[in-house]
Amino acid sequence: MSDSLLQLIDRYRNKDRRALSRLLTLAARGEHLSEILAAASVPQSKRIPVVTLTGSAGVGKSTLTGKLIELLRRKDKRVAVLACDPQSPLSGGALLGDRFRMPTTPDEGVFIRSLSSAGGRGAIAEHLPVLLKLLAGFGFDVILLETVGAGQGDTVVRDIADVVVFLVQPETGDDLQWEKAGLLEVCDIVVIHKSDLPGAEHAEAQLRSMLELSSGPIPVILRVSSKTGSGMEELWQAIERAADSEHVRRDAGRELLRQVQEFLSARFVQLEEDAALQQLVADWKAGEVDLNDAARRLVDLLLTAGANPRSSP
């Protein structure tokens, strides 16, 4: 480990905000992931809920995130926000415009980081579990995660968050659109946002009648307006209840699984020049090994690479 990284980790542990910011950059790029993960230890006793806000583009995720920050600061809670926006598939660049809609007054209790997210990654940035760990280890009380404008299939957020809030708005389409929405099946809370607009009550009625047909647990449905502030307090109470609920504790093992996934992807990147790995991927692409075999061989390869001391946690 280089001296500068050690210093950085040391400063991070001493709650130096600049060090946190730098480590987030390194982790988002996939650099030094295992060292950073090891540095960001969170006491098991302290639960720091990760609350995901998701929904289609323009539904008001950033605005609602901004309002939640204000509400949480009034309750004296320290808030960290990770806001994801899409990366251009052509240039790789990104226009990150989420914090534009959030409070701007500098405040030690608020940290906002914008992240770009490549297509096909389920509406969130890479290496997110490491970023979340870094923020949790820094002493924030709540972490808000805003996804890119997401649609119907991006259910991967369920694995990352303790509480999933799915935003919809009035006049989204007829009730068949609700039937299709996969996020409705995995979220804890559905917010009918912009509830000051006409049609909010109708949307709620449609949603309720649809969800009552499902066999699984029914999410909490709330009408919220960021414009008037109505429903905000109820939303926070619902988030707290969901964070304390049984299923979050039951899913705790997933966190371990997530860490293992991060270790494996970090090793995959470290090994990108490895001849055996290149050969395996080439064989798979050429159709010479089937997917199951290739996957098993890949796991073996990544694990045997553990002999390299740099890649061990």
Question: What DSSP letter does each residue of 124-137 carry, written as one string?
Answer: S-TTHHHHHHHHHH
276 lies in the site for other proteins, by CB under 8 A: no
Which of residues 113 and 158 has its CB atom nearest to other proteins in the complex? 113
| Residues in a beta bridge with 55 | 167
User: Which amino acid type is present at position 43?
Assistant: P
The yes or no reply on residue 25 touching other proteins (CB under 8 A) is yes
Smaller CB separation from other proteins, 4 or 14: 4
User: Which one of the spans 14-22, 44-52, 211-219, 239-247 is the region binding other proteins (CB under 8 A)?
Assistant: 14-22
Structure tokens at 238: 């619902």
Contact 83, 117 (CB under 8 A): no
Q: Which stretch binds other proteins (CB under 8 A): 4-12, 193-201, 293-301, 305-313?
A: 4-12
Kindly state whether residue 68 participates in binding other proteins, applying the rule CB under 8 A.
Answer: no
Could you give the angle at which helices 232-244 and 61-74 cross, rounded to 10 degrees?
A: 80
Quick one: 131 exposed, middle or buried, by C-beta within 10 A (0-12, 13-18, 19+)? buried
**Nearest alpha-carbon partner for 54 in 195, 186, 179:** 186
Rounded to whole angstroms, how far apart are CA atoms 187 and 124?
16
From the CB of 96, what's the least distance to other proteins, in Å? 5
Find the binder of other proteins among 37, 94, 135, 266 (CB under 8 A): 94
With a CB cutoff of 8 Å and minimum separation 6, the contacts of 62 are 83, 97, 98, 99, 100, 101, 102, 146
- Residue 13 in contact with other proteins, rule: CB under 8 A: no
Which residue, 97 or 313, has its beta carbon nearer to other proteins? 97
Strand partners, 110: 79
Tokens of 246: 């049984």
Scan for tokens 């080439």, then name that residue.
282
Q: What is the largest CA-CA distance in the chain?
A: 62
Q: How far is the CB of 114 from other proteins (least distance, A)?
A: 5
Question: Which 277-296 residues touch other proteins, going by CB under 8 A?
Answer: 278-279, 281-283, 285-286
Question: What does the alpha-carbon distance between residue 134 and residue 131 come to, in Å, rounded to a whole number?
Answer: 5
Contact in structure between 107 and 138 (CB atoms under 8 Å): no
Measured from the CB atom, the residue of 54 and 270 that comes closer to other proteins is: 270
Using the rule CB under 8 A, is 7 a contact of other proteins? yes
Distance separating alpha carbons of residues 147 and 124, to the nearest angstrom: 6
Q: How far is the CB of 10 from other proteins (least distance, A)?
A: 9
Rank residues 3 and 76 by Cβ distance to other proteins and give the closer one.
3
Determine how many CB atoms are found less than 10 A away from the CB of residue 76: 8
Q: Which residue's CB is nearer to other proteins, number 175 or number 283?
A: 283
Closest CB 31 distance from other proteins, rounded Å: 6
Residue 25 or 228 with smaller CB distance to other proteins: 25
CB nearer other proteins, residue 94 or residue 187: 94
Tell which positions 95-134 bind other proteins, by CB under 8 A.
95-97, 99-100, 104-106, 111-114, 116, 118, 126
Smallest distance from the beta carbon of 34 to other proteins, in angstroms?
A: 14
Q: Give whole-number Cα distances, 220 to 13, 71, 234, in Å.
A: 38, 20, 11
Using the minimum distance from each CB to other proteins, give the nearer residue, 3 or 212: 3
- Residues of this chain that interact with other proteins (CB under 8 A) are 2-8, 17-18, 21-22, 24-26, 28-32, 88, 90-97, 99-100, 104-106, 111-114, 116, 118, 126, 269, 272-273, 278-279, 281-283, 285-286
